[in-house]
Amino acid sequence: MRWLATAALLFCVADATAITIVVGNTPTRVSLRVGSPGGQIDLVTFTVPAANVGDGVPVAGTVPGQGGLAGFCPANTVYVEIEGRASPANSRTVTLSVDSTQPLSNGIDTIPFTQIDWISTGFPPVSIPSGTFSGGAGQVLVSFQNSRVALQCLRFRYLNQSVVGAGTYNGRVVYGVTMP
Amino acid sequence: MRACARLLALLLAFVPPAGAATRLDDSLSPRQRVEIVPRWVSESTSGRLSNEQLNALVAEVRQFEVRLNTAKYVGREAEIYLRLPVAIIGLHSPAGLRLEWRTRGRFASGSVRPGERMLLFRGAISQPVMEDTFDFVLHFDGRYIQRGLQFDPIYEIEILR
């Protein structure tokens, strides 16, 4: 009889707990912005005086405008923003990589992207280290845990370590981000 | 069995003393389970968002009818509160959830975090069932929640006289 009374009491208490709110799927979001918004491809220009070609003194690049985000990055730098949102924090890894396999070319000669480096100015909590393009695909620049945003200003330099033929060399690197 | 029935009757008729909070039965409410899918509050960062803003999620539950069984308290002066439990499945920190609501006026609007309670009503209980329609807004910090988070808002009463 005591058992019956206890069971009835438990039932009564449980019955008063009626309304339950449940969170279904939580959203995820990963995004990458390099330079200007809206899919624009920004141009970094290195001008090497003829007398200095191949002398090993780096030449800093120039970037029109404010590097993609007015008032945030210094002049002649490129703004990079990587964002990884998911729940809970630190449950996923955000990885930024770059493909620099296609060298710069003037139509005749080429310059590998290993001749270009960058100096980072980062903002906590995530920083992209300064470095040099590897000339390969999938060069990992930084990895960090989700629920953070990485904001960087990159200053690119042409290392100017080889004598190359005269002309204008064009090339493109492609950045990508994943958060599996 | 007769003793069991007497015990049940005693329990059902029991009115707690003044000052003691007792959970109210909300099982008369039409909807018993609501599944929500939060969304990010800010879509774009552009370097201007704090970590709190970056990870802010929100979800709404509109026109949620709440009916509280106050039959045992008719004629008594009482306060009714909405409380969130301090421990919530799928919530890693109390900072990860704030429940805000607006009502149609029978109860007061307000907001609570886990472990807190907010006054909904103070006065004489005149009806065996008190009801109002709530518009809930759930504010989450995505860093501290996970899929399957679930909780029961607790409605509790304190008898004043």
Q: Where are the domains of chain A?
A: 26-178
Q: What is the mean pLDDT of residues A54-64?
A: 95
Q: What is the pLDDT of residues A130-147, one digit of tens each?
A: 999 999 999 999 999 999
Question: What pLDDT sits at residue A1?
Answer: 35
Q: Which among B25, B92, B145 has the least Cβ separation from residue A26?
A: B145
Tell me the three state secondary structure of residue B61.
Answer: strand
Judging contacts by C-beta atoms under 8 Å, the chain A residues touching residue B59 are 23
Structure tokens at B61: 């539950």
Check whether the bond before B30 is cis (ω within 30° of 0). Answer: no
Give the domains, in start order, of chain B with CATH numbers.
25-30+37-159 (2.60.120)
Would the pLDDT of A85 be above 90? yes
Burial pattern A42-81, b for ≥16 Cβ within 10 A else e, equals eebebebeeeeeeeeebbebebeebbbbeebbeebbbbbb
- Judged against a pLDDT cut of 50, whether residue A102 lies above it is answered with yes
The predicted pLDDT at position A67 comes to 59
Global ipTM:
0.81
In the prediction, which pLDDT does A36 show? 83
Backbone angles phi, psi at A114, to 5 degrees: -65, -10
pLDDT at site A65: 72
Nearest to A5 among B4, B45, B54 (CB): B4
CA distance to partner chain A, nearest, from residue B65 (Å): 10
Cα atoms in the Cβ-side hemisphere of radius 13 Å centred on A33: 19
Beta-carbon contacts below 8 Å between A and B: 146
Is B91 part of the contact surface with chain A (CB cutoff 8 Å)? no
Distance from CA of A176 to the nearest CA of B (A): 18
Q: Give B144's pLDDT tier (boundaries 50, 70, 90).
A: very high
The per-residue pLDDT for range B9-45, each reduced to its tens digit, is: 444 445 555 568 999 999 999 888 999 999 999 876 5
The topology under which CATH files domain A26-178 is Immunoglobulin-like (2.60.40)
Instruction: For residue B37, give the nearest of A24, A72, A149 by CB distance.
Output: A24
Average pLDDT over residues A39-49: 92
The closest alpha carbon to A23, from B141, B153, B35, belongs to B35
Confidence at residue A17, expressed as pLDDT on a 0 to 100 scale: 55
Residues of chain B in contact with residue A19, where contact means CB-CB under 8 angstroms, are: 26, 29, 31-34, 64, 66, 152-153
Cα separation, B137 vs B118, in Å, equals 15
